[in-house]
Amino acid sequence: MQMSLLQRIALFARHRYRTVFAAFAVLLALSVVLISRLSFNTDMLSLLPREDPAVRTYVETLQDFGSSTFLLVAIRIPEDAVVDPYETLADRLAERLGRLPDLKSVQHRVGDPRELLETFYPKALLFLDEAGRKSLEERLSDEGIRRRVSEVRRQIATPQGLAAKELLRIDPLGLADVFLSRLQSSRGSLRVDWTSGYYLSGDHRLLLILAEPVHPPQDIAFAEQLAGKIDHIVAEETGKWEEIAGPGMKVPEVVLGGPHLTALGDAKLIRHDMVWNLGTVIPSVLLFFWFTFRRPGTLVYAMFPLLTGLLLTFGFAELAVGSLSSATSGVAALLVGLGIDFVIVSYGRYIEERQQGANLEDALLAMMGSNGRAVLVGAVTTTVTFWAFTFTKFTGLREMGLLTGTGILFCVGSVFLLLPAMLAWSEDHHRGRQKQPTLFLHSFGSERLMRLALHHPRPTLLLGMVITLISLALVVDIEFDESMKTMRPKGNRGIEVAEEVGRKFGSGFDSMSVILTGVACSRPVGSEVILLSCSSRTSSS
């Protein structure tokens, strides 16, 4: 009988299993050396297609102008608390943050209210829209003036009336509330209590400090270091709270938010998911494998080829891509989930043959015969599916497809060589001890289910058709959500703080940049033409 290539490989591994073990030991040693040189790429921009004009322009703008995003430092003020100590804390935090070389600017004040009024009042009417003009008309009506007089009397009678007296003298009718109700700035429209001179929300529950980092949020290592420095400064200053506010007042809660904290939270989640996936997938697979075959030794048959395939894959990753990104962090879990199928199918066929009385070599030949060809076809088709991602322009998907597809080949190759070698070693080991191995295969009721389907084909087909039709009817109602916010997990403190600031101040901090690129200009001078370089880039948000 003519044997196939896979069957010859099985016989070679059976008679030369020490050679197979030695060869894989060398390959694993080389892989470990390569893995030690493997780095982690935390720059999210590296996952995007650099050929795309929008991405390329954005990256070039970041290189030329740096980041234009803000890190938010928010001080939460308890209900019915006096604001003054919290403003002092904001001053101290802003002063220390301003000395950090990692920050380009730190802003926490809108300026002296009197200076704002004196500068803004002469031309204030020019900035009003229709709603603002109507509001001004109501303020200047007889009823509006009477309400304002009543409000001024109430304010003067309060303990804070002494501090507000100067502002009431400058603006007795309260027209500044109309003119400055939405303070326009480079950060967008912020509804602040301008009379305080701080970025203080209208309900006096949140004080805001805006810090502009020197690097973009995609630089995860920088964001992690910056967050650590700011947390240290906040801890030191809040530790002096009794010195600022006196005894008895609760230490304020200072929280950080914005794109840098969002990106940092995403990066931590990626690392957590990678560890969690490996920490849960591998034990779950081993537990299922042990329950199916009921032999502790079978765990070695399942795990050793898979671990070998994983190590070879990550060694190949160092040669092919040089670093692991967030998109490639899940490759290990994918390979464990896909590679275990090769082991289960192959080892299951081996058990069936041995239970029917076949010896070791005949069982290996059956395992690597038609069964081995089916496993190989499944591995190749899965590999081709993942390799199809290598044609995309998205770097992250391309790397994920390349590593997963190639890793599947490493896993199936490890199974075809190591599994017969380990089975041969186990057989010789038991034979030396004059003991037969216990073989067991749990079918989980699949045999009874298949017999039932064979005996009742028409009801089975009808049931399958009904399920298919129901599924097709449900597919029609599927909606597509293109919002990136729905893809983000709950609990990201950067997003939660930014949303809180948006609710309190009536504005978010997302922006769209417009890049203006000039072209070469020319003008005649006498009989000559002088070329003037006008290529410059201006960014506005």
62-76 pLDDT, tens digit each: 666 655 678 889 999
Q: Residue 535 falls within a domain, yes or no?
A: no
How confident is residue 161, by pLDDT bands cut at 50, 70 and 90? Answer: low
Q: Which residue has the higher pLDDT, 405 or 81?
A: 405
How confident is residue 295, by pLDDT bands cut at 50, 70 and 90? Answer: low
> CB-hemisphere CA count at 13 Å for 291?
8
**Chosen domain end from 263, 280, 304:** 263
Say what the pTM is: 0.59
Kindly tell me if the per-residue pLDDT of 210 is higher than 60.
yes
**Chosen domain end from 485, 514, 530:** 485
How confident is residue 25, by pLDDT bands cut at 50, 70 and 90? Answer: very high
Q: Residue 396 falls within a domain, yes or no?
A: yes
Q: What is the pLDDT of residue 27?
A: 94
**Whole-number percent of the chain with pLDDT over 70:** 69
Q: Residue 38 falls within a domain, yes or no?
A: yes
Q: Are residues 72 and 187 in the same domain?
A: yes
Residue 6 and residue 372 in contact, taking contact as beta carbons nearer than 8 Å: yes
How confident is residue 541, by pLDDT bands cut at 50, 70 and 90? Answer: very low
User: pLDDT digit string (tens) for 465-513?
Assistant: 999 999 888 888 777 765 555 556 666 777 778 878 877 776 655 556 6
Q: What is the pLDDT of residue 234?
A: 92
Q: Are residues 258 and 271 in the same domain?
A: no
**Chosen domain end from 444, 465, 485:** 485
Q: What total of structural domains would you count in the chain?
A: 2
Q: Which residue has the higher pLDDT, 115 or 8?
A: 8
Q: Are residues 274 and 165 in the same domain?
A: no
Q: Residue 498 falls within a domain, yes or no?
A: no
Q: Are residues 407 and 422 in the same domain?
A: yes
The DSSP H or E segment spanning 315 is helix 298-320
Residue 416 and residue 6 in contact, taking contact as beta carbons nearer than 8 Å: yes
Q: Are residues 227 and 318 in the same domain?
A: no
User: pLDDT digit string (tens) for 381-401?
Assistant: 999 999 998 888 777 788 889
Q: What is the pLDDT of residue 121?
A: 64
Q: Are residues 19 and 115 in the same domain?
A: no
Q: Residue 246 falls within a domain, yes or no?
A: yes
Q: Residue 431 falls within a domain, yes or no?
A: yes
Q: Which residue has the higher pLDDT, 264 or 235?
A: 235
CA separation for the pair 454, 468 (Å, rounded): 20
pLDDT mean over 274-281: 69
Taking Cα atoms as reference points, which of 319, 375, 378, 381 lies closest to residue 345?
A: 375
Q: What is the pLDDT of residue 40?
A: 67
Q: Are residues 302 and 169 in the same domain?
A: no
How confident is residue 380, by pLDDT bands cut at 50, 70 and 90? Answer: very high
- What is the 3-state secondary structure of 210-257? EEEECCCCCCHHHHHHHHHHHHHHHHHHHCCHHHHHCCCCCCCEEEEE
Q: Which of 149-153, 374-378, 449-453, 522-526 has the lowest mean pLDDT?
A: 522-526
pLDDT mean over 79-95: 87
Q: Residue 481 falls within a domain, yes or no?
A: yes
For residue 475, the domain's CATH number is 1.20.1640.10
Q: Are residues 277 and 401 in the same domain?
A: yes
Q: Are residues 276 and 392 in the same domain?
A: yes
Q: Are residues 89 and 104 in the same domain?
A: yes
Strands 323-324, 39-40: pairing kind = parallel
Range of the domain at 311: 5-50+265-485
Angle, CA of 386, 280 and 407, to the nearest 5°:
25
Q: Are residues 224 and 75 in the same domain?
A: yes
- Residue 39 CB partners (closer than 8 Å, separation 6+): 322, 323, 324
Q: Which residue has the higher pLDDT, 439 or 431?
A: 431
Q: What is the pLDDT of residue 184?
A: 46
User: pLDDT digit string (tens) for 296-324?
Assistant: 666 777 788 888 998 999 899 888 887 77
Q: What is the pLDDT of residue 534?
A: 39
Q: Are residues 312 and 170 in the same domain?
A: no
Q: Residue 152 falls within a domain, yes or no?
A: yes
How confident is residue 421, by pLDDT bands cut at 50, 70 and 90? Answer: very high
